[in-house]
Amino acid sequence: MDYLPLFVDLRTRKVVLIGGGVVAARKAELLLKAHAALVIVSPELCPQLQQEYQQQKFIWLQHDYQSHHLNDAYLVIAATDDGKLNERIFHDANERKIFANVVDDQPLCSFIVPSIIDRSPVIVAISSGGTAPVLARLLREKLETMLPTSLGKMAEIAGRWRGKVKESLTNLRERKRFWEKSFSGHFASLVENGQLSAAEQQLERQLYQQDNSGELILVGAGPGDAGLLTLKGLRVLQSADVVLYDHLVSEEILELVRRDADKVCVGKRAGNHSVSQEETNELIVKYALQGKKVVRLKGGDPFVFGRGGEELQIAAQAGIPFQVVPGVTAAIGATAYAGIPLTHREHSQSITFITGHCRDEGAELDWQALSRGNQTLAIYMGTVKAANISQQLIHFGRDRETPIAVIGCGTRRNQKVVTGQLHELDTLAQQAPAPALIVIGEVAALHHQLAWFGQQTEDIRWRSAVLELA
């Protein structure tokens, strides 16, 4: 290890910054954040530093540098564009045994400044030891996405509760278990959602009432491409104890689940249930009552033809805390990747999401309303009933030559789009791989003009970056 990472308390300690340009301004910003007693030595200041000087944020010595400026300093940063001067500052500091940093000149540094993720009081510092600062910055960007902004708040509350927890749980192992459960369980979810007093109540329950409740989180996985999962969804997947997932959830997304989590397939396809909804409900309740963080991972969005509402009702009845992380629904994702805008000023003023798979025969759709022009219909689970759908729409007045598209495996690498006219729907629906979405309306014709395929490589890269960190 070439450098020892330290977190230094600079509050009211003198730090001398030599230089008054934009580079110095960047360093000044950081030092002021850490409440250092900042002294800037420079004949001139850039506009930003001028402004801060006016706000009395630091002491300005409007001189050329002299070694006595370093007296009583704890740290020195040289940010001038004069190489010889920087070198002199470094040697002066070394003589006085003051840690010194010449910006972007590693040999002239007795300390280096890391890339920082600030979730105060939690701070993550990353360094490549001066060899590849850009790499350290890239790593920081990746970690940024994985650490919720609420992390600092969580640490702050935990800091306040530390004494009480120590008093109540005298055994070290018990305390460790308590905090592990808190930081990955319902307490963490409540803090992330900004429900701070409920979060503290949850800690209290856990501490004094031996609360062992788990929780249920419905997560929308999107239509397939892992890049479409939300950051929140990803974080939830990485802290789950059990993940109950559908057939519709892609392999790519399943790879993002925490390695130690139990993964249970409760898949079902329209009309071909492998695990009944009742069994899924029972599993949710069973695991949650064991104190587990249960993630119900659903294709697309949990509330769009996903029976998410029913599962939440079951949780509510059983007194299990729950939350929902929305996802990109198939009609949004698949059409975007197929180059079919759902609305268009010239062609379509509204969009309707419909299921072609009704619960009961006779629960008929309002064909008359659906047959009007200037609107887009996005039909889920519609391929089996495709013949009936086109007959009804034509019967009630929609032009038989209305453009249509059937998008199979939307957003996935094997996405297939077939297009034609409304009267051909039945034949076309058989040509697209499952799962398939039917789009009816003039906008479907825009596929030929707007189809694009550039996105996949980008998302695969993103996914492998996340996997490296998992």
Q: Which of 92, 225, 241, 246 is catalytic?
A: 246
Indicate the residue type of 398: R
**Which H or E run includes 190?**
helix 186-192
Q: Is 395 helix (H, G, I), strand (E, B) or coil?
A: helix
Query: Of 41, 47, 83, 85, whose CA–CA distance to 63 is shortest?
Result: 41
134 exposure class (CB count in 10 Å sphere: 0-12, 13-18, 19+) = exposed
Q: Please report, as ranges, the residues that interact with ligand SAH according to CB under 6 A.
A: 223-224, 248, 298-301, 304-306, 329-330, 334, 380-381, 407, 409-411, 435-437
Nearest CA among 69, 77, 80 for reference residue 45: 80
The CB-of-441 to ligand SAH minimum distance in angstroms stands at 16
Q: Is the Cα dihedral 386, 392, 395, 400 positive or negative?
A: negative
Q: What is the secondary structure of 337-367 as a DSSP string?
A: HHT--S-BTTTBSEEEEEESS-SSTT----H
Q: Closer CB to ligand SAH, residue 133 or residue 382?
A: 382
Residue 268 designated active-site? yes
Q: Which is nearer to ligand SAH, 181 or 296 (CB)?
A: 296
Nearer to ligand SAH, 97 or 359 (CB): 359
What is the C-alpha to C-alpha distance for residues 21 and 71, in angstroms, rounded to an integer? 23
Q: How far is the CB of 391 from ligand SAH (least distance, A)?
A: 19
CB of 36 within 8 A of CB of 15? Answer: yes
Q: Report, in Å, the least distance between residue 413 CB and ligand SAH.
A: 11
Closest approach of ligand SAH to the CB of residue 352, in Å? 14
DSSP string of 35-67, one letter each residue? TBEEEEE-S---HHHHHHHHTT-SEEE-S---G
**Closer CB to ligand SAH, residue 13 or residue 247?**
247
Give the whole-angstrom CA distance, residue 325 versus residue 323: 7
Considering the complex, state which of residue 103 and residue 405 has its C-beta at the smaller distance from ligand SAH: 405
**3 state SS of 259:** coil
Of the residues 268, 286, 416, 426, only one is catalytic, namely: 268
Closer residue to ligand SAH, CB minimum distance, 321 or 326? 326
Q: Report the residue closest to ligand SAH, judged by CB.
A: 300
Q: Output the smallest distance, CB 349 to ligand SAH, in A.
A: 23
> What 3-state class would DSSP assign to 11?
strand
Catalytic residues: 246, 268
